[in-house]
Structure 1
Amino acid sequence: MPSFEYKLSVLKSGHCVNKERINLDMNLQPGLRLLSNICRIRGFASQVQAPLTSERYKVTRGNFAALNDKDLGYFESLLGKTRVLTEESDLEGHNTDWLHMVRGASKLLLKPKTTEEVSAILKYCNERKLAVCPQGGNTGLVGGSVPVFDEIVVCTSLMNNIISLDEWSGVMVCQAGCVLEALNDYLMERNFIMPLDLGAKGSCQIGGNVSTNAGGLRLLRYGSLHATVLGVEAVIPNGTVMDCLSLMKKDNTGYDLKHLFIGSEGTLGFVTKVAIQCPVKPKSVKLAFLGMDNFQSVLETFKRAKQDLGEILSSCEYIDRASITSVTDNLNVKNPIGDFPFYMLIEASGSNETHDEEKLNTFLEKIMSNGTVTDGTVASDSSQMLAIWALRERIAEGLLYDGYVYKYDISVPLTTFDDFVQDVWKQVGDDVVRVCGYGHLGDSNIHLNITSKTYDPKVTSKLEPFVYEWTSKKKGWRSRPSNAQLEENV
């Protein structure tokens, strides 16, 4: 097995990265490269239509009104015909999630540009008792942004203006439809970064991030959105605009209403603007990719990373072998350190490159010399880091090639991550292609994925309620409600 020093020197020379894959679509931004690949997969996957959510989950439509020509006339007078879409081809991507797991039957897509337009839409729908489905980038993996029945989809994609950035405090105010990667690019030019980073950053929108309380890769360093979002503007169902758009980090004047909207998934109100605290851009970033022979080594490495890296530890990701092979086998992305049962991605970022590199190297020497980590590699060049991050960020894409994907976004104690995956394997047996787990060690969040060649109700019956009961026994939680539960709040 090559030593750590050898792996480090080889990666710096550029021979460990899959240049053929990285050079593909090199004219696109990193998030957009990922998005373009996903779109190609979606085109393939769309040949098989997802089952209607209402039929799959056996839910009953609520007592809502049906859309009529008078309603269409009102919306056209408000938004203009170009932002009131009724063609099936225009609605297809909004009625279905990109995994093609769930499908609604909306007949109308509205695309407001301002808070005032959102207010008018919700006020009208409330008076007419028309059901509404708020939607951002529709990148969620559990169907929460997709209609269940014929709800009116109100999409924020045209609400994409950055309103202000206070370069003294780092507080940015923007509309809900701003794409996460676009926000980060804007901030990077001004020496700041977004405190949130997701694999879907090339298409997800900040309003959806806030509404789902997205965690992501940087939570370990910067905290949750409850910590970084200073204020929100939201429209409640009767059209009233709730101005909770505080720009101050400290606001102890009574109830903190913004926290009710963070993670409420559109059930309490429609987020239209966000004020968020943005950290200063780090001057040095380094990424280590490590391989371990057992799960106990993962836990020990994480503990040591927190102790030894301290303030420069910005991300700590866990990936099992089955997750990695979904990328290496299905997407032809090269694994730079070979085959191991478990892997970790550890990112360190700070303000002093010499100091940060010394801390990282000392940490790596300790965990490799005592056998906790079997092999590893480090990258500091942006293209090399992109190649390594692809092994983590493209797992969802790679799993699509197996066929149908059953996804669960679960938080359980760190010590149970691998037990969870193994117990699910035993539960589903030979009915599936793959069971794998990866996720964020910093917030005990594991992405449990099971694949089969096609959708199989027998697999679903084995997984549910087994996965939820297992989670409950460990006093964990699942991050999203089922579509059946969402229907009660539409």
Structure 2
Amino acid sequence: MLKLVFRAGISKRAYSAKAVKLTVETYPNLQRGDYGTLEESDLTRFRSILGDSSVFVDDIEGYNEDQMRKYRGQSQVVLKPKTTSQVSEIVKHCNDRKLAICPQGGNTGLVGGSVPVFDEVVVSLSGMSQIRSFDETSGILKVDAGCILESTDQFLAEKGYIFPLDLGAKGSCQIGGNVATNAGGLRLLRYGSLHGSVLGIEAVLPDGTVFDSMHSLRKDNTGYDLKQLFIGSEGTLGIITGVSVLCPARPKAVNVAFLGVESYEAVQDTFSKAKRELSEILSAFEFMDRESQVVNKKFLKAPHPLAEGSDEIPEYPFYILIETSGSNKEHDDAKLEQFLETSMEDGTILDGTVSQDEAQTRTLWAWREGISEASQIEGGVYKYDVSLPLSKLYDLVIAARERLREANLIGETDEYPVVDPVGYGHVGDGNLHLNVCVRRYTKEVEKVLEPFIYEWISQHHGSISAEHGLGFQKKNYVHYSKSDVEIAMMKDLKRHYDPNGILNPYKYI
């Protein structure tokens, strides 16, 4: 049985001292905003709020550096509040002193949104990890923002429920951060986005005021739905401290099929057929190109699911992972078997395997979930999480690969910075993950990729960010997805609620 351990966030205890360039060294044109500078009197105030044990000034490099090892800030202090009132007092003090703040959850973000750029005060929510309540009749869960996604789902599993979000980084990411970035995850096809499943939010506004909509009514049509402002706002309008979410019943039967097909057109055909024939039990439909499986094999060091005893990866250009989940195993098994049988007969699917137990289910998912971390195995990765019309989804990978080849940046030897781009993602919601695997980060590669990728996406009516937000990486490119009117409204909201601009500056817009 394959056991996969995800290290999706930097371990605060196991931080490597390997040098990562400061963000301000990589981007020398950056200018620090007109913010206050941390003084000893500020540390004294923070200690009076939190106690000495929750104010950290030593060994905090892991909080300054993102998990991609691309960005590194210069924060001098990390604060770990345990209550919403403590967060409120911290933010009020920082606002009065005009000290910039970087809210941080599990630090598993991919766009540099969860780490400081300059010397912002890091407010880590990891100390707020309590499950506040769970209603076993309605399925409504109320949690602190610092609850780990995987641990929360394990709690729900004991009650017969499931958290409506699943990510490869579930062992490290925190629910507050998931909501702040509007994470989409692996089963959005079945359970929808957090905009629908989050019923209420508790957040501390930039002046220290506590916004509380945790009343958890599924239907409330009285005025603006203000909680939606915080979902996907990346800590720029408030620090999320609590979340109320509607959790569905946990499926009693889960099947996973791992398939090989000959083209991206076959991926689309299989998806169309799956929607028709598997309909209500279809919970995930993921696709992966062969390049993603090659890099993942280096990472997992295990036989490929379709290798049939060989140590090689089969020559299928594309792979599909289908998950079904429901309440009747015999019914689900029969539907999946019929779907696979007819798809093999008509040649849409060339090869495949179906999990026989929970261990095999985890193994098959590892060949999809492991790609993100595997992409960094050669040294680094430029990640682009985007959405596009389904017919154009993989064309972006082809376009990026051709552009890098034209620039003579891809090669098999160390003299080339780029190893290869890989493509995979959630077909059900048109979400592509383009990972450009590199041996080292260079401005030359970045200039070839950006803004080319964003321009290509805009020309094909897509979005430059599907689920990981804008952060630092994409803040200058939001106009490729949003109109001038939309950007102006976003800026107006930021200025209104955060006139001093202290919350997560240098990010978003």
Separation of aligned partners in 2, 1:122 and 1:318 = 43
Separation of aligned partners in 2, 1:463 and 1:118 = 39
Residues 410-448 of structure 1, C-alpha deviations (whole Å, 9 max, x = no match): 111111122110110111114110101111111111111
For residue 308 of structure 1, what is the aligned residue in structure 2? 277
SS of 1:377's equivalent?
A: strand
Separation of aligned partners in 1, 2:221 and 2:402 = 50
How many residues of Structure 1 are paired with residues of Structure 2 in the alignment?
A: 457
For residue 447 of structure 2, what is the aligned residue in structure 1? 461
For residue 345 of structure 1, what is the aligned residue in structure 2? 321
| C-alpha distance 37-321 of structure 1, shift in aligned 2 (>3 A) | farther
For residue 61 of structure 1, what is the aligned residue in structure 2? 32
SS of 1:433's equivalent?
A: strand
Separation of aligned partners in 1, 2:259 and 2:215 = 42
Give the alignment of 1:139-218 within 5 angstroms.
139-218=108-187
Q: Is the 8 A contact 1:49 1:100 kept in 2?
A: no
Decide which of 48, 60, 63 is 1:77's aligned counterpart.
48
Give the alignment of 1:206-245 within 5 angstroms.
206-245=175-214
SS of 1:389's equivalent?
A: helix
SS of 1:400's equivalent?
A: coil
Cα deviation for residue 47 of structure 1 reads: 5.7
Cα deviation for residue 327 of structure 1 reads: 1.0
Higher helix fraction: Structure 1 or Structure 2? Answer: 1
Q: Is the 8 A contact 2:95 2:206 kept in 1?
A: yes
For residue 481 of structure 2, what is the aligned residue in structure 1? none
Q: Is the 8 A contact 1:172 1:277 kept in 2?
A: yes
Letter in 2 for 1:462: V
Decide which of 21, 29, 40 is 1:51's aligned counterpart.
21
Letter in 2 for 1:300: D
Q: Give % identity.
A: 51
Residues 262-319 of structure 1, C-alpha deviations (whole Å, 9 max, x = no match): 0000011110100000010111000000111111000001111111111100111111
Separation of aligned partners in 2, 1:356 and 1:303 = 18
Cα deviation for residue 51 of structure 1 reads: 2.0
SS of 1:483's equivalent?
A: coil
Q: Is the 8 A contact 2:8 2:373 kept in 1?
A: no
Letter in 2 for 1:49: A
For residue 375 of structure 1, what is the aligned residue in structure 2? 351
Residues 109-155 of structure 1, C-alpha deviations (whole Å, 9 max, x = no match): 00000000000011110010000000000011121101111000000
Residues 453-482 of structure 1, C-alpha deviations (whole Å, 9 max, x = no match): 111211011001111111111111122325
Q: Is the 8 A contact 1:211 1:271 kept in 2?
A: yes
TM-score with structure 2 length normalisation?
Answer: 0.87
Letter in 2 for 1:34: F
Cα deviation for residue 370 of structure 1 reads: 0.5
SS of 1:428's equivalent?
A: helix
For residue 7 of structure 1, what is the aligned residue in structure 2? none
Gaps of 5+ in 1: 1-18, 23-29
Separation of aligned partners in 2, 1:461 and 1:154 = 33
Letter in 2 for 1:342: F
Cα deviation for residue 489 of structure 1 reads: 5.5
Separation of aligned partners in 2, 1:400 and 1:293 = 27
Asked if 1:442 corresponds to 2:442, the answer is no
Cα deviation for residue 399 of structure 1 reads: 1.5
Q: Is the 8 A contact 1:283 1:351 kept in 2?
A: yes
Letter in 2 for 1:114: T
Separation of aligned partners in 2, 1:201 and 1:482 = 20
Gaps of 5+ in 2: 308-313, 410-417, 476-503
Letter in 2 for 1:395: I
Q: Is the 8 A contact 2:259 2:321 kept in 1?
A: yes
Residues 166-209 of structure 1, C-alpha deviations (whole Å, 9 max, x = no match): 00100000000000001000000010010100000001000000
Separation of aligned partners in 2, 1:382 and 1:478 = 36
Cα deviation for residue 379 of structure 1 reads: 0.6
Separation of aligned partners in 1, 2:506 and 2:107 = 20
Separation of aligned partners in 2, 1:187 and 1:469 = 42
